């Protein structure tokens, strides 16, 4: 009987010791077993309470891709970005209409045309690029738009904002785009840039960053006209040249508003970084095979990268499309887009 009491007392002592040790462990005290893994709870990011999704993003090679690189290089806790860049707007449009892309960077007039063509299946979420078009000359005497009369001008961007903006500027300066000048459109910006570098073309219109690429490799080529300024002059300073925008499929926007909002927040930060730190963005341009970092760094300050949404974006885009529409209805798909063209978050 005495032995039983001793055993009972020993068991009670063991139980008290175990409870004390467990309490210390739960409070971060002594007795924590060494698992070999260091865990810093304070640094953990709260995980989303929904399934992560793949967001398919496509951009045109040029300023739109440069402004987006910070997004592509980041980790978003709400989604995984699949990024592609294409050389022609038609390729991007095809990806949107087939559902192969969710978000895309496009010329603003192409976005309006696609909205009209698809009965509102796409929306513009933000304006990302203002005027980036320049006329380059290799030995030709061009000091004003009027000097383009009777000349042969090679250009890129047929069917996009570039073509219709150029036609508007020419018309406002008394030059008929069909009869007063010969415009030879090339399929891609890179094709025209290569020919200007080689000296095969003496007068051309290109966007940045291809302008920087050409002038860096052929010092004989000079910038003679900034078409963003010429546009503002032609439009009596009523609107800026709203060249590029971020487009989203309406179905995606309705189904994934949280993911889209996070993308836009990151895009805003990325665009700001492209403006404030061209060197870092240039590194990303080379990393993602968009362009050589030396060219990107020199071109970025002239790419007019912005991030504009909400009422400011709506007014700027509407004013710009109105000018294009009044000049040529075909330029934006035959009619002004409806109110639902503008995405609001």
Q: Which of 248, 244, 246 is nearest to 257 (CA)?
A: 248
Q: Are residues 246 and 121 in the same domain?
A: yes
Residue 175, token pair as written in the block: 């030059």
By the 8 A CB rule, do 132 and 63 touch?
Answer: yes
State the pLDDT confidence band at 20, using cuts at 50, 70 and 90: very low
Q: Which of 195, 193, 199, 168 is nearest to 299 (CA)?
A: 193
Residue 246 is predicted with a pLDDT of 97
Per the structure, how many domains does the chain have?
2
State the pLDDT confidence band at 26, using cuts at 50, 70 and 90: very low
pLDDT of 275 strictly over 60: yes
Q: What is the mean pLDDT of the chain?
A: 84
State the pLDDT confidence band at 64, using cuts at 50, 70 and 90: confident
Q: Which residues pair with 80 in a beta bridge?
A: 54
State the pLDDT confidence band at 252, using cuts at 50, 70 and 90: very high
Q: Are residues 91 and 172 in the same domain?
A: no
pLDDT of 78 strictly over 80: no
- Its sign, for the CA torsion 195, 198, 203, 205, is positive
By the 8 A CB rule, do 60 and 87 touch?
Answer: yes
Kindly state the average pLDDT of the residues 127-145.
92
- Of 183, 206, 234, the residue that ends a domain is 234
9 part of a folded domain: no
- Of 213, 234, 255, the residue that ends a domain is 234
pLDDT tens track for 288-298: 888 889 999 99
Q: Domain containing 229: what range?
A: 133-234
pLDDT of 67 strictly over 60: yes
H helix or E strand, kind and range, residue 249:
strand 244-249
Residue 60 is predicted with a pLDDT of 84
By the 8 A CB rule, do 90 and 307 touch?
Answer: no
The pTM score is 0.79
Q: Are residues 69 and 139 in the same domain?
A: no
Of 44-53, 170-179, 182-191, 331-340, the range with the lowest mean pLDDT is 44-53
Kindly state the average pLDDT of the residues 196-224.
94
Residue 76 is predicted with a pLDDT of 62
Cα–Cα dist 166/50, whole Å: 47
Peptide bond into 209 cis (omega under 30): yes
66 part of a folded domain: yes
Q: Are residues 168 and 299 in the same domain?
A: no
Task: Return the CATH number at 118.
Answer: 3.40.190.10
């Amino acid at each position: 009987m005495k032995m039983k009491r001793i055993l009972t007392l020993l068991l009670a002592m063991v139980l008290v010791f175990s409870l004390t040790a467990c309490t210390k462990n739960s409070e971060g005290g002594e007795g924590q077993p060494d698992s070999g893994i260091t865990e810093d709870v304070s640094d953990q990011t709260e995980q989303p309470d929904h399934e992560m999704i793949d967001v398919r993003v496509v951009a045109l090679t040029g300023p739109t891709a440069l402004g987006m690189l910070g997004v592509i290089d980041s980790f978003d806790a709400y989604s995984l970005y699949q990024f592609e860049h294409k050389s022609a707007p038609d390729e991007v449009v095809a990806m949107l209409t087939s559902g192969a892309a969710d978000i895309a960077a496009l010329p603003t007039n192409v976005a309006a045309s696609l909205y009209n063509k698809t009965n509102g299946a796409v929306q513009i979420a933000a304006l990302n690029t203002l005027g980036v078009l320049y006329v380059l000359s290799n030995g030709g005497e061009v000091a004003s738009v009027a000097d383009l009369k009777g000349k042969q001008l090679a250009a890129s961007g047929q069917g996009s904002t570039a073509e219709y903006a150029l036609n508007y500027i020419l018309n406002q300066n008394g030059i008929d785009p069909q009869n007063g000048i010969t415009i030879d459109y090339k399929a891609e910006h890179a094709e025209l840039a290569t020919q200007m570098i080689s000296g095969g073309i003496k007068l051309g219109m290109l966007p940045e960053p291809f302008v920087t690429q050409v002038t860096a490799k052929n010092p004989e080529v000079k910038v003679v006209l900034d078409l963003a300024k010429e546009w503002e002059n032609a439009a009596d300073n009523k609107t800026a040249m709203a060249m590029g925008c971020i487009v989203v499929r309406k179905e995606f926007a309705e189904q994934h508003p949280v993911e889209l909002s996070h993308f836009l927040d990151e895009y805003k930060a990325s665009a700001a970084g492209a403006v404030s730190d061209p060197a870092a963005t240039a590194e990303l341009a080379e990393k993602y095979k968009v362009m050589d970092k030396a060219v990107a760094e020199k071109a970025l300050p002239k790419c007019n990268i912005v991030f504009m949404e909400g009422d400011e974006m709506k007014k700027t885009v509407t004013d710009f499309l109105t000018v294009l529409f009044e000049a040529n209805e075909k330029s934006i798909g035959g009619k002004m887009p409806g109110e639902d063209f503008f995405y609001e978050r």
